[in-house]
Structure 1
Amino acid sequence: MASKLLRAVVLGPPGSGKGTVCERIAKSFGLHHLSSGQFLRENIRANSDVGILAKQYLEKGLLVPDHVFTRVMITELEKMQTQPWLLDGFPRTLGQAEALDTICELDLVISLNIPFESLKDRLSARWIHPASGRVYNMEFNPPQVHGVDDVTGEPLIQREDDKPEAVAARLRKYKDAAKPVMELYKLCPAVAQKYRKGLLPGFAARACTDTQNDVIRMRRSGELPPTCAEMCRCGLRSFHVANGPLERIPFA
């Protein structure tokens, strides 16, 4: 019988650091970091049928509807059936979670929960490189040159919905949509929910280390192939584990 491939999801509100956490975990685990935003941009650039549809909404200043966004993600994830992956930014709604459940069984869900007051400050300090989606925070993850992308040298922008006047409404909308998703995943033993205070870089390391322990525990129960556990065990030794409160929902 073929070994089971790791399927993991990192959930969290805007500004919670999903991308940073995913990059560190994926690199250490030997996983593919799948970004929902990147998939959407690639489909738009490629003028795929669903990309053209999504672009029509964005050009009008509208959010991409749930059914269109889900179609993008399911199409891309079906191409990754033979690869281990860590998914960032999807699912965001109950409908998306149910659609994801039709094509794969998740092994691990990590939910990053940060006080909304902290998120307001963080989002207001966030700037992005629009072409790639790279995100910078002027307080703890600034670009090497102010206002300029580290890789391309192109200018950074601040999204309209990251500006202070838009952040509160954006976070309220996320909370309303995310609640039924987390209620669904709390019924699943593969959920590790993490609460944090303090700086993101330290927490990212802490999240990686705790996820390593979860994956190794799953391996010992025969749920994951040995290679995943070995990647986790070897790859995370160099991370500094930050001190601070961390509450977890234990595995069943």
Structure 2
Amino acid sequence: MGTSVDAPAVVAEEVTDNVLGGKKVTVVFVLGGPGSGKGTQCTNIVEHFGFTHLSAGDLLRAEIKSGSENGTMIETMIKEGKIVPSEVTIKLLQEAMIKSENDKFLIDGFPRNEENRAAFENVTKISPAFVLFFDCTEEEMEKRLLGRNQGRVDDNIETIRKRFKVFVESSLPVIEYYSSKDKVKKIDAAKPIPEVFEDVTAIFAPYAPKV
């Protein structure tokens, strides 16, 4: 008799309903090191496949700019060099998805680490359809970042290498976690932009808007 009580706990582990604000949503996490070209490809995916692009960083910046109490708190944390709690970022992502007319989302630059990932699934009860991983050598990313160094003060060699290190240490465990669930679609991001987009198109074909 007593065994049935424990059963739901196992089910709760795997998030499957993916319903938010009364609508079923498709979420794709976009991960890739700095300079892997994910921003360019996100723009293409939005244009060709009708996804809404949500950047965790942009949402935090917009919240700070709004002057809300939440924004002030975020700004203070960033100024003090503290990490903004996962829940804060997740809440902003969640609100943006609920407010949107759309039901297909690219979430860019999040989850940054394993703790983000677990918190996202716990809070939203959403599991990504897949993770789009732009795989690129550090050498190539470095070359790109230095080449586009237009006004980005942080794009010097030392800072760039630090950003790579953070990416590898934090984001690779997330990629490994989703790989174990067969949810990572890896793209060779070192190729020229049009070729990368061909690979992206092949992955997103099932999501193409019905004509």
For this structure pair, what is the TM-score category when the shorter chain's length is used for normalisation? 0.7 to 0.9
Partner Cα distance (1:157, 1:230) in 2: 36
| Among candidates 109, 117, 122, match of residue 139 of structure 2 | 117
Deviations 1:93-147 (A, max 9, x none): 10111111121121121111100011111112335xxxxxxxxxxxxxxxxxxxx
Deviates more, 1:51-60 or 1:91-100: 51-60
Aligned equivalents of 2:50 and 2:166: distance in 1? 34
Cα distance in structure 1, aligned partners of 2:148 and 2:116: 26
Equivalent residue number for residue 197 of structure 1:
190
1:78 to 77, 94, 102: 94
Structure ranking higher on relative contact order (CA contacts 8 Å, 6+ apart): 2
Q: Which amino acid aligns with 1:65?
A: I
1:90 to 110, 115, 120: 110
Residues 61-210 of structure 1: matches in 2 within 5 Å? 62=81, 64-67=82-85, 70-79=86-95, 80-81=97-98, 83-102=103-122, 103=124, 104-127=126-149, 157-160=151-154, 162-199=155-192, 201-210=193-202
Structure 1 residues 202 and 50: alpha-carbon distance in aligned structure 2, compared to 1, 3 A threshold: same
Cα-Cα RMSD: 2.4
Whichever residue aligns with residue 190 of structure 1, its letter is K
AA in 2 matched with 1:186? S
Amino acid in structure 2 at the alignment position of 1:117: E
Q: Which residue identity does 2:115 align to in structure 1?
A: G
Letter in 1 for 2:68: S
Q: Distance in 2 between matches of 1:57 and 1:230?
A: 40
What is the DSSP-based 3-state SS (H/G/I as helix, E as strand, rest coil) of the residue aligned with 2:178?
helix
One-letter identity of the residue aligned with 2:142: K
Sort the Cα spacing of 1:192 and 1:158 in 2 relative to 1 into closer, same or farther, 3 A.
same
Count of aligned residue pairs for this structure pair: 185
What one-letter code is carried by the residue in structure 2 that aligns with 1:170? R
Residue in 2 that maps onto 1:15: 35
- State the TM-score, normalized to the length of structure 1: 0.66
Q: Percent identity?
A: 27
User: Higher helix share goes to which structure?
Assistant: 2
After TM superposition, the score normalised by the length of structure 2 is: 0.77
Q: Distance in 1 between matches of 2:93 and 2:157?
A: 34
Q: Give 5+ residue unaligned stretches, structure 2.
A: 1-21
TM-aligned CA deviation for residue 3 of structure 1: 7.6
Cα distance in 2, alignment partners of residues 230 and 210 from structure 1: 10
Gaps of 5+ in 1: 128-155, 217-228, 235-252
> Which consecutive segments of 4 or more residues in structure 1 shift more than 3 A?
57-60
Task: Kindly indicate whether the alpha-carbon contact (under 8 Å) linking 1:18 and 1:89 is maintained by their aligned counterparts in 2.
Answer: no
- The offset of 1:73, in angstroms, is 2.3
Match of 1:152 in 2: none
Aligned to 2:54: 34
2:17 counterpart residue number:
none
Distance (whole Å) between structure 1 residues aligned to residue 180 and residue 91 of structure 2 = 26
Shift of residue 86 of structure 1? 0.8
With over 3 angstroms needed to count, the CA separation of the structure-2 counterparts of 1:116 and 1:182, relative to structure 1, is: same
